[in-house]
Amino acid sequence: MKYISTRGLAPSLSFEEVVLTGLASDGGLYVPETLPQFSREEIASWVGLSYQELAFKIIAPFVAGEIADADLQTLIDKSYQSFRHPAIAPLVQTDHNEWVLELFQGPTLAFKDFALQFLGNLLDFILAKRQQKVVVMGATSGDTGSAAIEGCRHCDNIDIFILHPYQRVSEVQRRQMTTVLDDNVFNIALEGNFDDCQNMVKASFADQSFLPDGRQLVAVNSINFARIMVQIVYYFYAALALGGPARAISFSVPTGNFGDIFAGYLAKRMGLPIDQLIVATNQNDILHRCISANDHSKRPLVHSLSPSMDIMVSSNFERLLFDLHGRNGEAIRDLMESFKGGAMPLSAEVMAKLQAEFASYRLDDEETISVIAEVFDKTEYLLDPHTAIGVQAARKTRRDKTTPVVCLATAHPAKFPEAVTKACAVATPALPHHMADLFEREERYQVLANDMAGVHSYMAAQIKS
Protein backbone atom coordinates (compact mmCIF):
# COMPACT_ATOMS: atom_id res chain seq x y z
CA MET A 1 0.00 0.00 0.00
CA LYS A 2 1.40 3.38 -1.06
CA TYR A 3 0.22 6.78 0.17
CA ILE A 4 0.06 9.96 -1.92
CA SER A 5 -0.26 13.65 -1.09
CA THR A 6 -3.45 15.61 -1.74
CA ARG A 7 -1.36 18.32 -3.41
CA GLY A 8 0.36 15.99 -5.85
CA LEU A 9 4.00 17.08 -5.52
CA ALA A 10 5.35 15.07 -2.55
CA PRO A 11 6.78 11.57 -3.05
CA SER A 12 4.56 8.57 -2.36
CA LEU A 13 5.37 6.81 0.92
CA SER A 14 4.89 3.47 2.65
CA PHE A 15 2.60 3.10 5.66
CA GLU A 16 5.39 3.36 8.24
CA GLU A 17 6.86 6.38 6.45
CA VAL A 18 3.45 8.10 6.47
CA VAL A 19 3.04 7.46 10.20
CA LEU A 20 6.39 9.14 10.88
CA THR A 21 5.98 11.95 8.34
CA GLY A 22 2.53 13.40 9.06
CA LEU A 23 2.22 16.44 6.81
CA ALA A 24 3.52 15.94 3.26
CA SER A 25 6.49 17.99 2.07
CA ASP A 26 4.23 19.90 -0.37
CA GLY A 27 1.89 20.92 2.48
CA GLY A 28 -0.71 18.31 1.59
CA LEU A 29 -2.15 15.39 3.54
CA TYR A 30 -1.42 11.76 2.79
CA VAL A 31 -4.17 9.40 1.65
CA PRO A 32 -4.01 5.79 0.41
CA GLU A 33 -3.32 5.42 -3.28
CA THR A 34 -6.16 2.86 -3.37
CA LEU A 35 -8.76 1.92 -0.75
CA PRO A 36 -9.37 -1.64 0.47
CA GLN A 37 -12.68 -2.98 -0.81
CA PHE A 38 -14.96 -5.37 1.11
CA SER A 39 -17.95 -7.16 -0.39
CA ARG A 40 -21.24 -7.34 1.51
CA GLU A 41 -20.68 -11.07 1.91
CA GLU A 42 -17.30 -10.47 3.54
CA ILE A 43 -18.69 -7.75 5.82
CA ALA A 44 -21.59 -10.04 6.79
CA SER A 45 -19.09 -12.72 7.80
CA TRP A 46 -17.76 -10.37 10.50
CA VAL A 47 -21.02 -10.32 12.51
CA GLY A 48 -20.22 -11.32 16.09
CA LEU A 49 -16.52 -10.46 15.98
CA SER A 50 -15.13 -8.62 19.00
CA TYR A 51 -14.10 -5.01 18.48
CA GLN A 52 -10.43 -6.04 18.47
CA GLU A 53 -11.00 -8.83 15.94
CA LEU A 54 -12.93 -6.51 13.64
CA ALA A 55 -10.24 -3.83 13.95
CA PHE A 56 -7.68 -6.30 12.61
CA LYS A 57 -9.85 -7.04 9.56
CA ILE A 58 -10.21 -3.33 8.75
CA ILE A 59 -6.65 -2.18 9.51
CA ALA A 60 -4.58 -5.04 8.04
CA PRO A 61 -4.98 -4.01 4.36
CA PHE A 62 -3.72 -0.49 5.14
CA VAL A 63 -0.42 -1.75 6.57
CA ALA A 64 -0.03 -4.16 3.63
CA GLY A 65 2.47 -6.55 5.15
CA GLU A 66 4.74 -3.92 6.75
CA ILE A 67 3.70 -5.21 10.17
CA ALA A 68 3.33 -8.96 10.75
CA ASP A 69 -0.23 -10.06 11.45
CA ALA A 70 0.62 -11.32 14.93
CA ASP A 71 2.33 -8.01 15.83
CA LEU A 72 -0.61 -6.00 14.47
CA GLN A 73 -3.13 -7.99 16.51
CA THR A 74 -0.95 -7.50 19.61
CA LEU A 75 -0.84 -3.74 19.01
CA ILE A 76 -4.63 -3.64 18.64
CA ASP A 77 -5.27 -5.74 21.75
CA LYS A 78 -2.87 -3.62 23.81
CA SER A 79 -4.50 -0.39 22.63
CA TYR A 80 -7.96 -1.29 23.93
CA GLN A 81 -6.97 -2.93 27.24
CA SER A 82 -7.55 0.33 29.12
CA PHE A 83 -11.11 0.86 27.85
CA ARG A 84 -13.69 0.69 30.64
CA HIS A 85 -16.46 -1.14 28.75
CA PRO A 86 -15.95 -4.65 27.35
CA ALA A 87 -17.85 -3.72 24.17
CA ILE A 88 -15.28 -0.90 23.60
CA ALA A 89 -17.90 1.11 21.65
CA PRO A 90 -21.33 0.30 23.15
CA LEU A 91 -24.59 1.48 21.60
CA VAL A 92 -27.38 3.10 23.64
CA GLN A 93 -30.86 3.68 22.22
CA THR A 94 -32.22 7.21 22.76
CA ASP A 95 -35.30 7.17 20.49
CA HIS A 96 -37.03 5.06 17.87
CA ASN A 97 -34.33 4.01 15.39
CA GLU A 98 -31.93 6.48 17.04
CA TRP A 99 -28.78 5.30 18.76
CA VAL A 100 -25.82 6.86 20.52
CA LEU A 101 -22.44 5.20 19.94
CA GLU A 102 -20.46 5.73 23.14
CA LEU A 103 -16.94 6.55 22.02
CA PHE A 104 -15.87 7.86 25.43
CA GLN A 105 -15.07 4.59 27.19
CA GLY A 106 -11.30 5.05 26.82
CA PRO A 107 -8.88 6.39 29.45
CA THR A 108 -9.43 10.10 28.66
CA LEU A 109 -13.22 9.90 28.08
CA ALA A 110 -13.16 11.00 24.42
CA PHE A 111 -13.33 9.38 20.99
CA LYS A 112 -9.73 10.39 20.34
CA ASP A 113 -8.65 7.47 22.55
CA PHE A 114 -9.60 5.02 19.80
CA ALA A 115 -6.93 6.33 17.46
CA LEU A 116 -4.35 7.70 19.87
CA GLN A 117 -4.01 4.65 22.11
CA PHE A 118 -3.24 2.71 18.94
CA LEU A 119 -1.00 5.42 17.47
CA GLY A 120 1.13 5.61 20.63
CA ASN A 121 1.68 1.85 20.61
CA LEU A 122 2.29 1.86 16.87
CA LEU A 123 4.89 4.62 17.09
CA ASP A 124 6.74 2.86 19.89
CA PHE A 125 6.77 -0.34 17.83
CA ILE A 126 8.10 1.37 14.69
CA LEU A 127 10.66 3.51 16.54
CA ALA A 128 12.04 0.57 18.54
CA LYS A 129 12.49 -1.35 15.29
CA ARG A 130 14.30 1.61 13.73
CA GLN A 131 16.21 2.56 16.91
CA GLN A 132 14.98 6.12 16.45
CA LYS A 133 13.73 8.91 18.74
CA VAL A 134 11.20 11.53 17.67
CA VAL A 135 9.33 14.60 18.89
CA VAL A 136 5.55 14.49 18.79
CA MET A 137 3.98 17.91 18.31
CA GLY A 138 0.24 18.41 18.29
CA ALA A 139 -2.50 21.00 18.61
CA THR A 140 -5.71 20.37 20.50
CA SER A 141 -9.08 22.06 20.81
CA GLY A 142 -9.66 19.97 23.91
CA ASP A 143 -9.65 16.18 23.53
CA THR A 144 -6.79 15.27 21.17
CA GLY A 145 -4.17 16.51 23.62
CA SER A 146 -5.07 14.34 26.60
CA ALA A 147 -5.59 11.27 24.40
CA ALA A 148 -2.23 11.81 22.67
CA ILE A 149 -0.46 12.31 25.99
CA GLU A 150 -2.05 9.17 27.42
CA GLY A 151 -1.03 7.24 24.32
CA CYS A 152 2.59 8.48 24.33
CA ARG A 153 3.47 9.06 28.00
CA HIS A 154 4.99 5.59 28.42
CA CYS A 155 6.84 5.57 25.10
CA ASP A 156 10.62 5.36 25.48
CA ASN A 157 11.41 7.02 22.16
CA ILE A 158 9.08 10.03 22.21
CA ASP A 159 9.03 13.55 23.67
CA ILE A 160 5.53 14.98 23.30
CA PHE A 161 4.56 18.67 23.11
CA ILE A 162 0.86 19.59 23.00
CA LEU A 163 -0.39 23.12 22.29
CA HIS A 164 -3.82 24.08 23.58
CA PRO A 165 -5.50 27.52 23.35
CA TYR A 166 -5.00 29.28 26.68
CA GLN A 167 -8.24 29.49 28.71
CA ARG A 168 -10.27 28.10 25.79
CA VAL A 169 -10.65 24.46 26.82
CA SER A 170 -12.77 23.15 29.68
CA GLU A 171 -11.11 22.76 33.06
CA VAL A 172 -11.47 18.99 32.90
CA GLN A 173 -9.88 18.92 29.45
CA ARG A 174 -6.97 21.08 30.62
CA ARG A 175 -6.32 19.10 33.77
CA GLN A 176 -6.39 15.81 31.89
CA MET A 177 -3.34 17.11 30.01
CA THR A 178 -1.54 19.20 32.57
CA THR A 179 -1.64 16.73 35.47
CA VAL A 180 0.42 14.17 33.53
CA LEU A 181 3.89 14.77 34.98
CA ASP A 182 5.99 12.24 33.06
CA ASP A 183 9.40 13.59 32.04
CA ASN A 184 8.64 13.30 28.31
CA VAL A 185 5.33 15.26 28.44
CA PHE A 186 5.18 19.04 27.85
CA ASN A 187 1.99 21.13 27.73
CA ILE A 188 1.98 24.58 26.11
CA ALA A 189 -0.96 26.95 26.68
CA LEU A 190 -0.77 29.21 23.62
CA GLU A 191 -2.19 32.72 23.86
CA GLY A 192 -4.53 32.35 20.90
CA ASN A 193 -7.27 30.05 19.56
CA PHE A 194 -7.15 26.51 18.21
CA ASP A 195 -6.50 27.64 14.64
CA ASP A 196 -3.41 29.51 15.91
CA CYS A 197 -2.20 26.28 17.56
CA GLN A 198 -2.88 24.24 14.44
CA ASN A 199 -1.18 26.77 12.16
CA MET A 200 1.92 26.73 14.37
CA VAL A 201 2.09 22.94 14.25
CA LYS A 202 1.78 22.93 10.45
CA ALA A 203 4.45 25.62 10.10
CA SER A 204 6.76 23.70 12.44
CA PHE A 205 6.51 20.60 10.26
CA ALA A 206 7.53 22.71 7.26
CA ASP A 207 10.68 23.97 9.03
CA GLN A 208 12.13 21.61 11.64
CA SER A 209 15.52 23.32 11.89
CA PHE A 210 14.90 24.15 15.57
CA LEU A 211 15.15 20.47 16.55
CA PRO A 212 18.37 18.84 17.77
CA ASP A 213 20.28 16.73 15.25
CA GLY A 214 18.74 13.34 14.65
CA ARG A 215 15.22 14.30 15.73
CA GLN A 216 12.12 14.84 13.58
CA LEU A 217 8.54 15.87 14.25
CA VAL A 218 5.74 13.30 14.18
CA ALA A 219 2.07 14.30 14.00
CA VAL A 220 -0.63 12.99 16.31
CA ASN A 221 -3.29 15.32 14.94
CA SER A 222 -5.60 13.79 12.38
CA ILE A 223 -3.25 14.98 9.64
CA ASN A 224 -1.63 11.60 10.47
CA PHE A 225 -3.57 9.10 8.37
CA ALA A 226 -3.11 6.31 10.92
CA ARG A 227 -5.67 8.11 13.09
CA ILE A 228 -8.28 8.19 10.33
CA MET A 229 -7.63 4.53 9.55
CA VAL A 230 -8.36 3.40 13.12
CA GLN A 231 -11.57 5.45 13.31
CA ILE A 232 -13.05 3.62 10.32
CA VAL A 233 -13.47 0.56 12.53
CA TYR A 234 -16.29 1.82 14.73
CA TYR A 235 -18.50 2.65 11.75
CA PHE A 236 -18.36 -1.01 10.73
CA TYR A 237 -18.82 -2.12 14.36
CA ALA A 238 -21.97 -0.03 14.89
CA ALA A 239 -23.46 -0.99 11.52
CA LEU A 240 -22.91 -4.71 12.13
CA ALA A 241 -24.58 -4.43 15.53
CA LEU A 242 -27.70 -2.85 13.97
CA GLY A 243 -28.27 -5.23 11.08
CA GLY A 244 -25.66 -4.17 8.56
CA PRO A 245 -24.73 -4.87 5.88
CA ALA A 246 -28.21 -6.24 5.11
CA ARG A 247 -29.57 -2.73 5.67
CA ALA A 248 -28.01 0.71 5.44
CA ILE A 249 -27.26 2.82 8.52
CA SER A 250 -26.97 6.62 8.81
CA PHE A 251 -24.42 8.41 11.00
CA SER A 252 -24.49 11.88 12.56
CA VAL A 253 -21.07 13.15 13.59
CA PRO A 254 -20.12 16.19 15.71
CA THR A 255 -17.55 17.76 13.41
CA GLY A 256 -14.66 20.16 13.88
CA ASN A 257 -11.54 19.11 11.99
CA PHE A 258 -13.44 16.71 9.69
CA GLY A 259 -11.32 13.67 10.58
CA ASP A 260 -14.02 11.61 12.32
CA ILE A 261 -16.64 11.96 9.60
CA PHE A 262 -14.01 11.48 6.89
CA ALA A 263 -13.42 8.04 8.42
CA GLY A 264 -17.14 7.38 7.90
CA TYR A 265 -16.87 8.51 4.28
CA LEU A 266 -13.99 6.05 3.79
CA ALA A 267 -16.01 3.26 5.42
CA LYS A 268 -18.76 3.90 2.87
CA ARG A 269 -16.27 3.86 -0.02
CA MET A 270 -14.82 0.60 1.30
CA GLY A 271 -18.20 -1.11 0.97
CA LEU A 272 -20.19 -0.38 4.15
CA PRO A 273 -23.81 0.48 3.23
CA ILE A 274 -24.31 3.99 4.67
CA ASP A 275 -27.42 6.00 3.82
CA GLN A 276 -26.57 9.45 5.21
CA LEU A 277 -23.46 11.04 6.65
CA ILE A 278 -24.53 14.11 8.66
CA VAL A 279 -22.08 16.87 9.55
CA ALA A 280 -23.10 18.42 12.89
CA THR A 281 -21.51 21.76 13.83
CA ASN A 282 -21.81 24.49 16.43
CA GLN A 283 -21.89 28.20 15.63
CA ASN A 284 -18.39 27.90 14.16
CA ASP A 285 -20.21 26.54 11.15
CA ILE A 286 -17.88 26.86 8.16
CA LEU A 287 -18.53 23.24 7.13
CA HIS A 288 -22.31 23.60 7.38
CA ARG A 289 -22.17 26.84 5.38
CA CYS A 290 -19.99 25.17 2.76
CA ILE A 291 -22.20 22.09 2.38
CA SER A 292 -25.52 23.95 2.46
CA ALA A 293 -24.64 27.17 0.62
CA ASN A 294 -21.14 26.92 -0.94
CA ASP A 295 -19.87 29.44 1.61
CA HIS A 296 -16.46 28.23 2.76
CA SER A 297 -15.33 31.59 4.10
CA LYS A 298 -13.45 32.30 7.31
CA ARG A 299 -15.25 34.18 10.07
CA PRO A 300 -14.11 35.14 13.58
CA LEU A 301 -13.92 32.10 15.83
CA VAL A 302 -16.56 32.00 18.60
CA HIS A 303 -15.87 30.42 22.00
CA SER A 304 -18.70 27.94 22.63
CA LEU A 305 -19.97 25.34 25.09
CA SER A 306 -18.70 22.69 22.65
CA PRO A 307 -15.05 23.80 22.48
CA SER A 308 -13.69 20.76 20.66
CA MET A 309 -15.58 22.04 17.60
CA ASP A 310 -14.36 25.64 17.86
CA ILE A 311 -12.43 25.32 14.62
CA MET A 312 -12.56 27.44 11.47
CA VAL A 313 -9.96 25.61 9.35
CA SER A 314 -10.93 21.93 9.11
CA SER A 315 -7.72 20.29 7.95
CA ASN A 316 -9.17 16.95 6.88
CA PHE A 317 -11.68 18.59 4.55
CA GLU A 318 -8.76 18.79 2.10
CA ARG A 319 -8.73 14.99 1.92
CA LEU A 320 -12.38 14.97 0.87
CA LEU A 321 -11.87 17.79 -1.64
CA PHE A 322 -9.06 15.76 -3.20
CA ASP A 323 -11.54 12.96 -3.93
CA LEU A 324 -14.28 15.32 -5.10
CA HIS A 325 -11.83 16.89 -7.58
CA GLY A 326 -10.90 13.54 -9.11
CA ARG A 327 -7.69 13.32 -7.03
CA ASN A 328 -6.25 16.30 -8.90
CA GLY A 329 -3.39 17.71 -6.80
CA GLU A 330 -3.11 20.89 -8.87
CA ALA A 331 -6.78 21.70 -8.26
CA ILE A 332 -6.25 21.28 -4.51
CA ARG A 333 -3.17 23.53 -4.54
CA ASP A 334 -5.23 26.23 -6.25
CA LEU A 335 -8.10 25.84 -3.75
CA MET A 336 -5.80 26.04 -0.74
CA GLU A 337 -4.15 29.14 -2.15
CA SER A 338 -7.59 30.70 -2.62
CA PHE A 339 -8.50 29.84 0.98
CA LYS A 340 -5.52 31.81 2.24
CA GLY A 341 -7.45 34.86 1.08
CA GLY A 342 -10.36 33.89 3.32
CA ALA A 343 -12.74 32.02 1.00
CA MET A 344 -12.83 28.90 -1.14
CA PRO A 345 -15.80 28.75 -3.55
CA LEU A 346 -16.44 25.31 -5.07
CA SER A 347 -17.62 24.56 -8.59
CA ALA A 348 -21.20 23.49 -9.24
CA GLU A 349 -19.97 20.01 -10.14
CA VAL A 350 -18.05 19.62 -6.88
CA MET A 351 -20.94 21.04 -4.84
CA ALA A 352 -23.28 18.44 -6.37
CA LYS A 353 -20.89 15.66 -5.33
CA LEU A 354 -20.49 17.14 -1.85
CA GLN A 355 -24.22 17.42 -1.23
CA ALA A 356 -24.74 13.88 -2.54
CA GLU A 357 -22.39 12.58 0.16
CA PHE A 358 -23.23 14.80 3.16
CA ALA A 359 -26.08 16.54 4.91
CA SER A 360 -25.32 19.20 7.56
CA TYR A 361 -26.83 21.15 10.43
CA ARG A 362 -25.65 23.72 13.01
CA LEU A 363 -26.69 24.57 16.57
CA ASP A 364 -25.78 27.46 18.82
CA ASP A 365 -25.21 27.17 22.58
CA GLU A 366 -28.81 27.86 23.55
CA GLU A 367 -30.13 25.16 21.22
CA THR A 368 -27.46 22.74 22.43
CA ILE A 369 -28.49 23.19 26.06
CA SER A 370 -32.11 22.66 25.08
CA VAL A 371 -31.30 19.31 23.44
CA ILE A 372 -29.34 18.09 26.46
CA ALA A 373 -32.31 18.99 28.68
CA GLU A 374 -34.91 17.40 26.39
CA VAL A 375 -33.07 14.09 26.03
CA PHE A 376 -32.35 13.91 29.76
CA ASP A 377 -35.98 14.70 30.61
CA LYS A 378 -37.31 11.93 28.33
CA THR A 379 -34.66 9.23 28.85
CA GLU A 380 -32.48 10.24 31.84
CA TYR A 381 -29.55 9.83 29.47
CA LEU A 382 -26.98 12.62 29.75
CA LEU A 383 -25.39 13.96 26.56
CA ASP A 384 -22.26 16.07 26.39
CA PRO A 385 -22.72 19.25 24.28
CA HIS A 386 -20.93 17.87 21.20
CA THR A 387 -23.05 14.72 21.17
CA ALA A 388 -26.20 16.80 21.70
CA ILE A 389 -25.41 18.70 18.51
CA GLY A 390 -25.03 15.38 16.69
CA VAL A 391 -28.38 14.12 18.01
CA GLN A 392 -30.27 17.24 16.95
CA ALA A 393 -28.59 17.31 13.55
CA ALA A 394 -29.78 13.75 13.00
CA ARG A 395 -33.32 14.62 14.00
CA LYS A 396 -33.46 17.64 11.71
CA THR A 397 -31.88 16.16 8.58
CA ARG A 398 -32.94 12.50 8.46
CA ARG A 399 -34.65 11.76 5.19
CA ASP A 400 -35.83 8.23 6.10
CA LYS A 401 -37.08 7.50 9.63
CA THR A 402 -37.03 3.75 8.92
CA THR A 403 -33.24 3.82 8.59
CA PRO A 404 -31.39 3.55 11.92
CA VAL A 405 -29.28 6.60 12.69
CA VAL A 406 -26.21 6.40 14.92
CA CYS A 407 -25.09 9.60 16.66
CA LEU A 408 -21.42 9.50 17.61
CA ALA A 409 -20.98 10.37 21.29
CA THR A 410 -17.56 11.95 21.16
CA ALA A 411 -17.04 12.75 24.87
CA HIS A 412 -18.25 11.93 28.37
CA PRO A 413 -20.62 14.59 29.78
CA ALA A 414 -18.41 15.05 32.87
CA LYS A 415 -15.84 16.77 30.64
CA PHE A 416 -18.27 19.65 30.07
CA PRO A 417 -20.02 20.36 33.39
CA GLU A 418 -20.91 23.95 32.51
CA ALA A 419 -23.18 22.92 29.64
CA VAL A 420 -24.68 19.98 31.50
CA THR A 421 -25.57 21.92 34.65
CA LYS A 422 -27.06 24.76 32.59
CA ALA A 423 -29.23 22.26 30.75
CA CYS A 424 -30.39 20.00 33.55
CA ALA A 425 -29.87 21.94 36.79
CA VAL A 426 -28.22 18.81 38.17
CA ALA A 427 -25.08 18.62 40.24
CA THR A 428 -21.81 18.53 38.32
CA PRO A 429 -21.75 15.15 36.52
CA ALA A 430 -19.36 12.79 38.24
CA LEU A 431 -16.08 11.78 36.68
CA PRO A 432 -15.46 8.02 36.42
CA HIS A 433 -13.71 6.56 39.45
CA HIS A 434 -10.28 6.37 37.79
CA MET A 435 -10.39 10.16 37.42
CA ALA A 436 -12.22 11.11 40.62
CA ASP A 437 -9.22 12.96 42.10
CA LEU A 438 -8.47 14.97 38.92
CA PHE A 439 -9.02 18.37 40.59
CA GLU A 440 -6.59 17.52 43.38
CA ARG A 441 -3.67 16.54 41.12
CA GLU A 442 -0.66 18.79 40.56
CA GLU A 443 -0.63 20.67 37.24
CA ARG A 444 2.35 21.55 35.05
CA TYR A 445 2.18 23.64 31.88
CA GLN A 446 3.79 26.66 30.22
CA VAL A 447 1.85 29.69 28.99
CA LEU A 448 3.53 31.07 25.84
CA ALA A 449 2.81 33.92 23.43
CA ASN A 450 1.54 33.16 19.94
CA ASP A 451 5.08 33.43 18.61
CA MET A 452 6.66 30.54 16.73
CA ALA A 453 10.26 31.47 17.56
CA GLY A 454 9.46 31.53 21.27
CA VAL A 455 7.66 28.17 21.12
CA HIS A 456 10.52 26.60 19.16
CA SER A 457 13.08 27.94 21.64
CA TYR A 458 11.10 26.47 24.55
CA MET A 459 10.78 23.09 22.83
CA ALA A 460 14.46 22.88 21.91
CA ALA A 461 15.44 23.59 25.53
CA GLN A 462 13.30 20.70 26.85
CA ILE A 463 14.41 17.97 24.44
CA LYS A 464 16.98 15.68 25.95
CA SER A 465 19.60 14.12 23.71
Contact indicator for 151, 119 with CB cutoff of 8 Å:
yes
- Sheet with 358-362: strands ordered across: 91-95, 98-102, 405-409, 249-254, 274-281, 358-362
The Cα 443–Cα 432 span in angstroms is: 20
Q: Can you count the helices (H) and strands (E) in the chain? A: 18, 13
Which candidate, 124, 90, 85, places its Cα nearest to that of 107? 85
Residue type, 328: N
Using an 8 Å Cβ cutoff, are 4 and 12 in contact?
yes
Half-sphere exposure of 199 (CA within 13 A, CB side): 14
Angstrom distance (rounded) from CA 136 to CA 205: 11
- Mention every residue, 6+ apart, whose C-beta is less than 8 A from residue 265: 277, 320, 357
**157-176 CB burial, b ≥16 within 10 A, e <16:** bbbbbbbbbbebbbebbbbb
Distance CA 337, CA 300 (A): 20
> Rounded to whole angstroms, how far apart are CA atoms 234 and 356?
23
Local structure of 186: helix, strand or coil: strand
Active site residues: 112
Q: Element (H or E) spanning 280, and its range?
A: strand 274-281
Q: What torsion do the CA atoms of 392, 398, 401, 407 make, to the nearest 10 degrees?
A: -50
Beta bridge partners of 95: 98
Amino acid at 269: R
Pairing of strands 358-362, 405-409: unpaired
